[in-house]
Amino acid sequence: MAVTLYTDRTPAQIRDGRLPNNVCRFGRTRERERALGVDHWNFPDFGMNCAHVRVGADPPIAFRGDLRSRAAFVDFRLYLPRLLADYRDRGGVVVEVADARTAVTRFGGDHALTVVATGGRGLGDELFPRIPERSADRPARLLMAGLFHGVAHTDPMGMHLEIVPGAGEIFQTPVYSLIGRVAGVTFEAVPDGPWSDLVGRNYYDDPRACADAVRELTAGTEIADRLDPRQFALTRPLDLLQGTVTSTVRVPWAQLGPDRYAVAVGDAAVLNDPVTGQGGNLAVTAAWELGRAIVDETVFDERFCREWADRLWEMSRDVTEWTSSALGPPPDQVFDVFRAAAKHQEVADAYLDNFDDPRAMWSAMATPQRAAAFLDRVIAGISAQIPDRAVVDRELRLLDALRSGRPQTISALMAPDGVLVDEHGCRSPGGRQWNPDAAGPPVGLSVVRLTDSAELVTYRQRGRHCSTVWRRDPNIGWTAAVHHRSPNPEE
């Protein structure tokens, strides 16, 4: 089947242009890249392995969810030219045109089917009518996204998501860019909210003012703790994007002439605010399914187009409704999921993995009944005596700090009034180095939940019986209140 690709920008123009987006490619998208042989940025040590989520509730909520499949952020000024080169190398025909309208009006009649993947106003408005009941009337956020030097990545590496109801959202992400590995910082500000003035200003001609605004907007968050004031700056003036998105769903087909039709994918068909990180992934899913439909069909008539419209909405509905909900005040069931994620690592992981499965995500968050069923299903298999990964992770961090004798790390893990206890007595954090002979992997680790905000972790470690009482502070998370070890009589 012969295919011709029309483009209004050369690879050089794409590379030399302004930052177009900050797309997160989740596991299913990356699986399709591997299937097509275009998985060019598979870095084992760089990507989104998890999300550190902070929610401005009363009290605040904090948790980390781990992904089963690493997600990735690659600058589309690298991504698109490379895929275009792959297409050409495999014999694909590329025709450069002035704009999308020219491609459709001048060449559309030459093909059995025309696929439009260019979003935005103009051509989309002419060809694909907006569906009012599925579309927003106005932007729900003011957007500012940039790439920055001088921002340390999260540990473990992943995304930092700050949700502040009434103000908006902040995302810090690891991005592979034109100049290498940098940090992406994106703001979604509620119009007329407390962030709207700073986010809504035009910084294209003033990168320094942009960096100052980011400092002010992130003050009081963990992102601020990772900023190096000596190096923090926008990487380049072109590495900044500002604007708004009005979520829009269109009729994804049009008749171009006798027996000639166009269908839409991507932003040309369904354009959602990027707050849920689904735009690029939904576009890839739609393109994949459209490709399958084209291969399976020989007649591209009105019936084909109408069937595509139904099929596309089936794929898009959950993303659209989930995104619309995420742009409003969080309903009570969403806070229920967040609070459960702060208590149970399994819930945190399931929540984050659902970003790669919008149908599962919306099924778990759409109503109080669905959220309760989601939590019951996830929590049902959790035994109170079996520690989850979050418990094991923080205990290992504490043991590593004690063994290496790093006072700052110990203090960060211990509660202000915490004590370390062994057969030699008590001492406060930052005291003498722990006996290196006590090092070794914990054996038989188990956990008892004392209260909603306290846990007792016990295990054996090289001839010692060990236990730690962990206390959860709503502002800083889990800290060790007491760590005790004594000779294990069984050994």
Domain final residue pick, 345, 379, 413: 379
CATH number of 393's domain? 3.10.450.50
Helix (H) or strand (E) holding 317: helix 302-326
Positions of the chain with pLDDT lower than 70, given as ranges? 119-122, 381-387, 405, 429-440, 463, 488-491
Q: What is the Cα–Cα distance from 306 to 24, expressed in whole angstroms? A: 30
| Beta carbons of 192 and 210 less than 8 angstroms apart | no
- Looking up residue 307, the CATH number of its domain turns out to be 3.50.50.60
Are 334 and 371 spatial neighbours (Cβ–Cβ below 8 Å)? Answer: yes
Same domain, 132 and 251: yes
User: Please, what sign has the CA dihedral across residues 295, 299, 304, 305?
Assistant: positive
Task: Let me know whether 398 and 468 are in one domain.
Answer: yes
Residues 273/323, Cβ–Cβ less than 8 Å? yes
Whether 344 is in a domain gets the answer yes
Same domain, 322 and 264: yes
Residues 286 and 350 in one domain: no
Domain count for the chain, please give it: 3
Q: Are residues 351 and 313 in the same domain?
A: no
CA distances (Å), origin 338, targets 85, 222, 278, 312: 43, 18, 20, 30
Say if strands 142-149 and 464-473 run parallel, antiparallel, or are unpaired: unpaired
pLDDT at 430: 60
Amino acid at 271: L
Give the C-alpha separation, 243 to 186, whole Å. Answer: 12
18 part of a folded domain: no
* Residue 202: burial class (beta carbons within 10 Å; 0-12, 13-18, 19+): exposed
Give the residue numbers spanning the domain of 465: 389-487
pLDDT at 477: 81
Is 457 contained in some domain?
Answer: yes
- Identify whether 199 is part of a domain: no
Q: Are residues 374 and 396 in the same domain?
A: no
Strands (E), 336-463: 414-422, 425-427, 443-451, 454-460
Single pTM value for the model: 0.80
What is the C-alpha to C-alpha distance for residues 287 and 8, in angstroms, rounded to an integer?
Answer: 19
What is the helix (H) or strand (E) element at residue 235, kind and residue range? none
Buried b (16+ CB within 10 A) or exposed e, 106-140: eebeebebbbbbbbeeebbeebbeeeeebbbeeeb
Residue 286 sits in the same domain as residue 374: no
* Same domain membership, residue 395 and residue 371: no
Residue 257 contacts residue 173 (beta carbons within 8 Å):
no
Q: What CA–CA distance (Å, rounded) separates 46 from 26?
A: 14
Residue 106 included in any domain:
yes
Closest CA to 164 of 359, 330, 300, 346: 330
- Together in a domain, 422 and 375: no
In angstroms, rounded to a whole number, what is the distance separating the alpha carbons of residues 310 and 22?
29
For the purposes of burial, counting CB atoms within 10 Å of the CB of 95, is it exposed (0-12), middle (13-18) or buried (19 or more)?
A: exposed
255 with 275, same domain: the answer is yes
Residue 156 within any structural domain of the chain: no
Asked if 238 and 143 count as a contact pair (C-beta separation under 8 A), the reply is no
Instruction: Judge whether 306 lies within some domain.
Output: yes
Cβ neighbours of residue 186 closer than 8 Å, sequence gap 6 or more: 22, 143, 144, 145, 146, 170, 171, 173, 274
Tell me, yes or no, whether 483 and 398 share the same domain: yes
Collapsing DSSP states into helix, strand and coil, what is residue 240? strand
Q: What is the C-alpha separation between 442 and 446, in angstroms, rounded?
A: 10
Contact (CB, 8 A) for 227 and 174: no
Note whether 268 and 124 are same-domain residues: yes
Cβ–Cβ under 8 Å, residues 143 and 188:
yes
In a domain, 114, yes or no: yes
